Amino acid sequence: RSMAATLHGGIALDSILFSSAMGAIDSLLDYMGASARAAGAFNVIGQRCWFEIRQYVDQGWPEAFRQIDELDPLALDEAIANPEVFGVMVELVANHPDMSVIDLERVVRRIRATRFARPKLIVLDVVHTPDVKVFERWFAGDMPANLCVALVVSGVKFMQAGWDISKSGLLLLRCDEQAFRHQDYTLAQKLVEIRSVSGRAPSIEEAYLADLETPASFRSRMARYDRNTRYFATALDAWMRESKLGYISSPWLPSHPGHEVAMSVYGTGGRLLFLYFAPERIGQAELGGLFKALAARAEDEGISLMAAPSFGLATPHVHVVIRPGLQTSLRVSTGSTSMRATGELLQLLIRQLSRFVR
């Protein structure tokens, strides 16, 4: 409740804390899979949802989930309006190499224009933009009949005053409670039960560490993350293009197709970005060597840098992203509220990338 209040002020929400971000998401996916199966329905997820999410449903609920191109407005409209679709899940500013941006204003207009004859669950994963006021801006009033909106704050580590100690996941809900009641259980109670039997409940220590922020400190830290990420993306993109090494994928940049929506709807381009390289300069083998060199040089120079596949949103972070059908890329989070630390990370990357300039 304390974290929900930090994120969404006085909006009445059901809020559940999990031991990890994927624990929150997987519990929700289990509920969606079982509910769709029982109702003879199915769920849809965006094809740009993070790989582990898509892998989880492919392995655990193959008959209960289908993928859609969430950037196709007609496909998303159809999923929302189709009574045979129980749940719809998308990432608003995707943790995906193309960093796609969902126009939530448009989605909400579609929701408001639809009368739901059967329960409909809309799941929005805010990933690395937990400060977006989804409920306060779009779902503050009475919920439409048969509708439930769930927000997965998989970047709850943002709430830890800069510490990557606990990776707790937060699930926030506003529902037509009667439509989503299961015998004597509310939806929140049902999800707590799933959390308990699946071993995804956080310890007392994890719960404490996940809630160290005040609303004022949270807003201040997000603003400094944004300042640093925008600066980093702009400077490195200009250098890479001038050096003909590639470019940056980030909604902060006017060259990104989701830039205008990101700025007008969310007011942020996110707190991570992806580096795409010209394959004739930096192929997959060279990128693997670059990744190792970055980690080694950062350690030698005393620069804070986490080189690992896990999220590093509260510390500078790099991670090679290899996905079938996608060009290999390097995910970077500036991960610091210090402009000096961000500048050091920028110069480290430029020095290491300079080896590939011809």
Provide the mean pLDDT of the chain.
88
Say what the pTM is: 0.91
Q: What is the pLDDT of residue 209?
A: 66
Q: What is the pLDDT of residue 19?
A: 82
Q: What is the pLDDT of residue 167?
A: 61
CB 253 within 8 A of CB 44: no
Per-residue pLDDT tens digits for 307-354 = 766 555 667 888 888 777 778 899 998 888 899 999 999 999 999 999
Q: What is the pLDDT of residue 215?
A: 80
Q: What is the pLDDT of residue 242?
A: 97
Token pair 């929400």: residue:
13
Q: What is the pLDDT of residue 312?
A: 54
Q: Which residues in the chain land under pLDDT 70?
A: 154-167, 206, 209-212, 308-314
All residues at 6 or more sequence positions from 319 whose CB lies less than 8 Å from its CB, including other chains:
307, 308, 309, 310, 312, 330, 331
- Please compute, for residue 128, the number of CA atoms within 13 A of its CA located in the half-sphere on the CB side: 31
User: Dihedral of the CA atoms 8, 53, 186, 188 (nearest 10)?
Assistant: -40
Q: What is the pLDDT of residue 210?
A: 66
CB 121 within 8 A of CB 87: yes
Q: Residue 22: name the closest of 207, 129, 205, 154 by CA.
A: 154
**Rounded-to-integer distance, Cα 337 and Cα 149, Å:** 31
Per-residue pLDDT tens digits for 23-61 = 889 999 999 999 999 999 999 999 999 888 999 999 999
Q: What is the pLDDT of residue 48?
A: 92
